[in-house]
């Protein structure tokens, strides 16, 4: 696997894909680690998460640079993502101490009904490339807080951030096999995670179509699943809107990570009374955005992740033109 900088096409790293045998071995190791990790006191789990959070803070510049190098987003956005990612670790460091059960009144004075909570086991996580830090921590931190062990399959376009985060987790004191990663295709990881008897939970962030497939496969063993699937994001501008604020909000939504997030506005509805003024202001501000290598301070829009993403955008532009849309600037 070659990890490519989308801004320069430079090869950042060459990694080996894990074989099926290696993945199966890693799952077995994670299951063995679970037998000990689930017994660790909640306050100790909390302390390790807090230490991990501190290490992430200490290495925030390095992590942000990695995110920009392999994912392309501007460095300022990448720094924001590191803070966002670490907020999950900090949150679950506290929540680890609050895994409360319940006592329920029984129908007999000689009986007591108690609901206790136990970690489910080994978690298999599959994450997307567009938020390589935040999507990792929002899955790993709660799993570890609950007493589960976790194996993450990061997107092959942006694995370096995951590797660094797992390295920091090990420095924080988490057992090596309690938190780990694999380099594999999404299909290979999905097939193994959903069918392996030692994987108790599958979590995935990505497209609805893939999520449905993972749910269907997981159902064969009645696995616990958590899915965060594709979004549709209409943006509505009413006729009483502050046009300046509306345009700024549109740009913040639409152009975040070069428009490559699941909550980027993909349909914009503007009241006809203000449509012309809104369009003029939007075009003016969009033309002022600087595009280029995300490591450069003046750049506000980084590259699309790969040629396939470029072709997708060109297809959307062609479709819009065929339906009467007009370009405000040439795309040559």
Phi and psi (nearest 5°) for 255? -105, 5
- Provide the token pair at 200: 């108790």
Euclidean distance between CA atoms 293 and 303, whole angstroms = 7
Q: Which residues of 251-289 are buried (b: 16+ CB within 10 A; e: fewer)?
A: bebbbbbbebbbebbeebebeeebeeebeebbeeebeee
* Three-state DSSP class for residue 167: helix
Q: How many CA atoms lie within 13 A of 137 on its CB side?
A: 29
Instruction: Give the list of residues 6+ apart from residue 184 with CB closer than 8 angstroms, or none.
Output: 17, 18, 23, 153, 156, 192
Q: What is the pLDDT of residue 332?
A: 60
Domain 234-322 belongs to what architecture?
3-Layer(aba) Sandwich (3.40)
Catalytic residue among 77, 228, 298, 332: 228
Is 72:304 a contact under the CB 8 Å cutoff? yes
Is 282:253 a contact under the CB 8 Å cutoff? no
Instruction: Give the list of residues 6+ apart from residue 42 with CB closer than 8 angstroms, or none.
Output: 96, 97, 99, 147
Q: Under CATH, to which class is 2-229 assigned?
A: alpha beta
Calculate Rg over the CA atoms of the chain: 23
Give rounded-to-5 percent helix, strand, coil for the chain.
50, 15, 35
CATH 3.40.605.10 in the chain is located at 2-229
**Cα–Cα nearest to 26, from 130, 94, 125, 146:** 125
Q: What is the pLDDT of residue 35?
A: 98
Q: What is the pLDDT of residue 327?
A: 86
**Count of residues making up the chain:** 332
Euclidean distance between CA atoms 44 and 178, whole angstroms = 14
Q: What is the pLDDT of residue 258?
A: 87
Q: What is the pLDDT of residue 325?
A: 86
What does pLDDT average to in each consecutive run of 10 residues of the chain (332 residues)?
Answer: 95 95 97 97 97 98 97 95 98 95 91 94 96 97 98 97 98 97 93 96 95 96 94 92 95 90 90 95 92 92 92 91 85 62
Is 93:46 a contact under the CB 8 Å cutoff? yes
Residue with tokens 């502050």: 242
145 CB-contact burial (10 Å; exposed 0-12 / middle 13-18 / buried 19+) = buried
Q: What is the pLDDT of residue 29?
A: 98
* Three-state DSSP class for residue 122: strand
Instruction: Give the list of residues 6+ apart from residue 102 with CB closer than 8 angstroms, or none.
Output: 114, 115
**Cα–Cα nearest to 300, from 129, 82, 72:** 72
Q: What is the pLDDT of residue 331?
A: 65
DSSP string, 48-105: HHHHHHHHHHHTHHHHHHHHHHHH---HHHHHHHHHHHHHHHHHHHHHGGG---EEE-
Is 226:214 a contact under the CB 8 Å cutoff? no
228 included as an active-site residue: yes
CATH 3.40.309.10 in the chain is located at 234-322
Beta strands 149-153 and 122-126, pairing class: parallel
- In sequence order, the β-bridge partners of residue 234 are 267
Give the torsion sign (CA, 238, 242, 247, 248): negative
């Amino acid at each position: 696997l070659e990890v490519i900088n989308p801004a320069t096409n430079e090869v950042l790293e060459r990694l080996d894909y894990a074989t099926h045998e290696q993945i199966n071995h890693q799952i077995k190791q994670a299951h063995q680690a679970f037998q000990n990790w689930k017994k660790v006191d909640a306050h100790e789990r909390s302390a390790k998460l807090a230490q991990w959070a501190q290490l992430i803070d200490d290495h925030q510049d390095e992590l942000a640079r990695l995110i920009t190098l392999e994912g392309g987003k501007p460095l300022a956005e990448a720094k924001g993502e590191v803070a966002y990612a670490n907020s999950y670790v900090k949150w679950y460091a506290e929540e680890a101490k609050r895994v409360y059960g319940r006592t329920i009144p029984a129908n007999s004075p000689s009986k007591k009904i108690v609901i206790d909570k136990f970690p489910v086991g080994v978690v298999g996580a599959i994450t997307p490339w567009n938020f390589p830090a935040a999507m990792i921590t929002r899955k790993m931190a709660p799993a570890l807080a609950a007493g589960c062990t976790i194996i993450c399959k990061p997107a092959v376009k942006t694995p370096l951030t995951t590797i660094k985060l797992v390295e920091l987790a090990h420095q924080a004191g988490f057992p090596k096999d309690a938190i780990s990663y694999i380099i594999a295709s999404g299909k290979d990881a999905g097939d193994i995670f959903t069918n392996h008897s030692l994987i108790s939970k599958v979590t995935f962030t990505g497209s609805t179509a893939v999520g449905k497939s993972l749910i269907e496969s997981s159902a064969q063993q009645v696995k616990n699943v958590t899915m965060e699937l594709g979004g549709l994001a209409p943006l509505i501008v009413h006729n009483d809107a502050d046009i300046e604020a509306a345009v700024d909000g549109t740009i913040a939504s639409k152009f975040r990570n070069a428009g490559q997030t699941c909550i980027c506005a993909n349909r914009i509805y503007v009241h006809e009374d203000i449509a012309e003024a809104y369009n003029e202001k939007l075009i003016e501000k969009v033309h002022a955005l600087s595009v280029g290598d995300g490591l450069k301070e003046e750049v506000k829009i980084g590259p699309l992740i790969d040629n396939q993403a470029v072709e997708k955008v060109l297809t959307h532009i062609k479709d819009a033109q065929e339906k009467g849309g007009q370009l405000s600037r040439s795309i040559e």
